[in-house]
Amino acid sequence: MTGWRKADWLTRSGLVCLAVLVLVTVVGTVFGIGGDPDAMVGPRLAPPGGEFLLGTDELGRSMLPRLFEGIGTTLLLSTVAVLVTAVLATLLGVAAGYYGGWLGEVVLRLVEVLYSFPTIVLAILVAAVVGPGQTATMCSIVLITIPLMTRVVRAAAVTVSERDYVTSAVISGAGWPRILVRHLLPNLSGTIAVQGTYALSVGILVEGGLSFLGFGVQPPQSSLGALIQQGSTYLLTAPWLVIVPGIVLIVAVLAINVFGDGLRDGLEPREARSLV
């Protein structure tokens, strides 16, 4: 893979971190390592080690399976939401950038409306209207990430549609599906991928924030945000309840961000120059 060799160590380690995280979670969940995440099997707030590798929470549940479930929930919700965002933002962005006109106006206006809602308030409103839970969390992530992505895709679509090959395709009478699939999408895919990674990190943070405020996934389902929220009052007596999911969350977001940076640098090569 040329991409792999071209990428710097940071981008590679980001990708490796993510892969490891996903792998560990999938293995942990599939094989049920640590037992039932919801069963109250142990003493409350037991420290890590022995029977409970990562200790137990305030209801005496083993943290290891709860952590697996938590990572899985957070990553899955964010990923699904961001995929939805990507599809919608591409459609809207292309519509606004390539077709423009009144359609473009409408799209831009809608995006602007969403953009001007304060983020957390928007998410909480969604949770209040839809009812808190997975659906609300995903809807919130979509609504929060879609404005920026649509704008960026639109800007890219404007640039691409001015290129000569698109103009000549139009002149030669190519239909819009052909132009979309043959010319626009391939040239937009890089932008979408980069924006997607950033949206993913935003999504994880939104999920965490919502759970932290009590509007996230419903108990007993765990998510990284819910775990941190529950553990945050026990920083003194049971710091492992926050430290482990906290580190995992930070590593996940960081890995996604540096990977996104690397991806973008790879797509828009820019010769770094030093002044000193």
Residues 53-72 that bind another protein (CB under 8 A): 58-60
Q: Which residue has tokens 């029977």? A: 51
Residue 3 found at the interface with another protein (CB under 8 A) = no
How many residues bind to another protein according to rule CB under 8 A? 79
Residue 169 found at the interface with another protein (CB under 8 A) = no
Given 30, 162, 172, 177, the residue binding another protein (CB under 8 A)? 162
Q: How far is the CB of 45 from another protein (least distance, A)?
A: 7
Residue type, 203: G
Residues 6+ apart with CB under 8 A from 163: 183, 187
In whole angstroms, give the CA distance from residue 218 to residue 216: 6
Q: How far is the CB of 28 from another protein (least distance, A)?
A: 21
- Which spans in the chain are helix H? 2-6, 9-30, 63-94, 101-115, 119-130, 134-161, 164-171, 176-178, 185-212, 224-231, 240-267
Q: How far is the CB of 89 from another protein (least distance, A)?
A: 18
Residue 94 found at the interface with another protein (CB under 8 A) = no
Residues 201-240 that bind another protein (CB under 8 A): 201, 205, 208-209, 212-215, 218-220, 225, 228-229, 232-237
Helix axes 134-161, 119-130, angle to 10 degrees: 130
Residue type, 91: L
Q: Are 97 and 154 in contact (CB under 8 A)?
A: yes
Residue 9 found at the interface with another protein (CB under 8 A) = yes
Given 24, 83, 88, 120, the residue binding another protein (CB under 8 A)? 120
CA atoms within 13 A on the CB side of 182: 12
Nearer to another protein by Cβ, of 27 and 235: the residue is: 235
Nearer to another protein by Cβ, of 19 and 27: the residue is: 19
Given 131, 167, 178, 181, the residue binding another protein (CB under 8 A)? 131
